[in-house]
């Protein structure tokens, strides 16, 4: 009678068909008689695909989770970056409208030139956006430009802005004011200061 430990040592080779025909016969017979070795044989010859595929699946699930987390992290990072860019753009480039209390403006006339000098006093940088003001459409369907709207904005001072960045000068010809209805509007918060042919040279503190 073959001893169990010999059979058990040989089982892997037996399963791989690497034992001699005689040994194979001995082992087969032993397996018929011995519960313990048969149990081990059954265990060793059971398809291992299930367990391995399960662990594969677990590994894939794990990778998926890792990837999902990575994507979530990347999205969070991307969102944070977008917000940062948006905030920087807002504070450095777009800005907020300047209120009346933070802006000093003076007007001056030099030859045929009219000028308005603006200075922002709250430590921020001044950006002035200009828009044309259009009049009534004429018979040919053209809307004439009848003025300029000046909209001062405050942004954070930054190296992006050149030079003296808390002041701004806007110039126009006095001739502009003699045209009918021509005006220059300085918009400060909700207040408009309107310069027309009647009052273009008056100084305002
Ligand atoms: Zn045995």
- Å from CA of 30 to ligand 1 middle: 6
Q: Ligand 1 mean position to 11 CA, how many Å?
A: 11
CA dihedral 140, 144, 96, 121 (to 10 degrees): 180
Q: Where are the domains of the chain?
A: 4-45, 50-94, 97-195
DSSP 8-state class, residue 102: G
Q: Are 4 and 37 a contacting pair, CB within 8 Å? A: yes
Q: From ligand 1's centre to the CA of 120, what distance in Å?
A: 98
Burial of 46 (0-12, 13-18, 19+ CB in 10 A): exposed
Which of 203, 204, 151, 198 lies closest to 177, judged by CA?
A: 198
Whether the Cβ atoms of residue 191 and residue 163 lie closer than 8 Å to each other: no
Q: Ligand 1 centroid vs 81 CA: distance in angstroms?
A: 68
Q: Using the mean position of ligand 1's atoms as its centre, give its distance from the Cα of residue 37 in Å.
A: 4
Q: How far is the CA of 43 from the centre of ligand 1 (A)?
A: 14
Structure-token match 């397996």, residue found: 31
Mean pLDDT per 10-residue interval, the chain, length 205 residues: 86 91 93 93 76 69 82 92 91 88 91 91 91 89 90 85 79 82 88 86 54
Query: Residue 203: its pLDDT value, please?
Result: 53
End-to-end CA distance of the chain: 119
DSSP of 74-101, one letter per residue? Answer: HHHHHHHHHHHHHHHHIIIII-EEPPGG
**Spacing, Cα 35 to ligand 1 middle (Å):** 7
Give the pLDDT confidence score for residue 50 in this predicted structure.
Answer: 54
The four Cα atoms 93, 95, 101, 106 give a dihedral, to 10 degrees, of 40
Residue 48 CA to ligand 1 centre (angstroms): 23
- Residue 13 CA to ligand 1 centre (angstroms): 16
Contact 8, 37 (CB under 8 A): yes
CB count, 10 Å around CB of 182? Answer: 21
Residue 129, number of CB atoms within 10 A of its CB: 13
Cα 24 to ligand 1 centroid, rounded to whole Å: 14
């Amino acid at each position: 009678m073959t001893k169990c430990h010999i059979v058990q040592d040989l089982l892997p080779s037996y399963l791989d068909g690497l034992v001699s025909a005689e040994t194979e016969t001995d082992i087969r017979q032993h397996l018929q008689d011995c519960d313990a070795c048969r149990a081990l044989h059954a265990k060793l010859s059971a398809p291992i695909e299930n367990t391995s595929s399960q662990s594969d699946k677990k590994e894939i699930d794990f990778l998926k989770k890792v990837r999902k987390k990575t994507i979530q992290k990347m999205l969070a990072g991307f969102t944070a970056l977008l917000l940062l860019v948006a905030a920087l753009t807002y504070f450095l480039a777009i800005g907020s409208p300047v209120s009346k209390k933070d802006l000093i403006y003076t007007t001056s006339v030099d030859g045929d030139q009219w000028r308005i000098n603006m200075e922002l006093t709250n430590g921020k940088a001044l950006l002035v956006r200009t828009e044309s003001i259009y009049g009534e459409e004429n018979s040919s369907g053209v809307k004439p430009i009848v003025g300029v709207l000046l909209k001062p904005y405050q942004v954070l001072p930054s190296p992006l802005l050149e030079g003296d960045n808390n002041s701004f000068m806007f110039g126009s010809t006095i001739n502009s004011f003699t045209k009918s209805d021509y005006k220059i509007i300085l918009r400060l918060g909700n207040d408009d200061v309107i310069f027309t042919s009647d009052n273009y040279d008056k100084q305002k503190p």
